């Protein structure tokens, strides 16, 4: 990839895709075996990522300004976040 948007938390899922937190884009990208990216989820500036055996994941979003509390996001296998 030429521009990962300050990528963090690179992890592989059970289906073989790699998942990357693109911090500047505020997205989670899914990368196939040819490094073709698709936006899996959008809406927050994540930092670390854990992918579960079932394909769901947890992502952390620190309190970047040092004041706001950090958050942990749950992202389902279909890319829906809570």
* Radius of gyration over every alpha carbon of the chain, rounded to an integer in angstroms: 12
Residues in a beta bridge with 81:
75
**68 by DSSP, 3-state: which?**
coil
The per-residue pLDDT for range 8-40, each reduced to its tens digit, is 889 999 999 999 999 999 999 999 999 999 999
* Beta pairing, strands 27-31 & 37-42: antiparallel
In this prediction the pTM is 0.89
Query: pLDDT band for position 6 (50/70/90)?
Result: confident
CA dist 48 and 12 (Å) reads 13
Measured in whole angstroms, the distance separating CA 65 from the mean position of its chain's CA atoms is 20
User: Which residue's entry shows tokens 């890319």?
Assistant: 79
């Amino acid at each position: 990839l030429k521009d990962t948007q300050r990528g963090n938390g690179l992890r592989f899922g059970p289906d073989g895709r790699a998942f990357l937190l693109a911090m500047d884009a505020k997205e989670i990208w899914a990368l196939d075996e040819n490094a073709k990216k698709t936006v899996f989820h959008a809406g927050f500036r994540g930092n670390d990522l854990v992918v579960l055996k079932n394909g769901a994941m947890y992502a952390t979003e620190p309190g970047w300004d040092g004041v706001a509390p950090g958050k942990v996001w749950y992202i389902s296998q279909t890319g829906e976040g809570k």
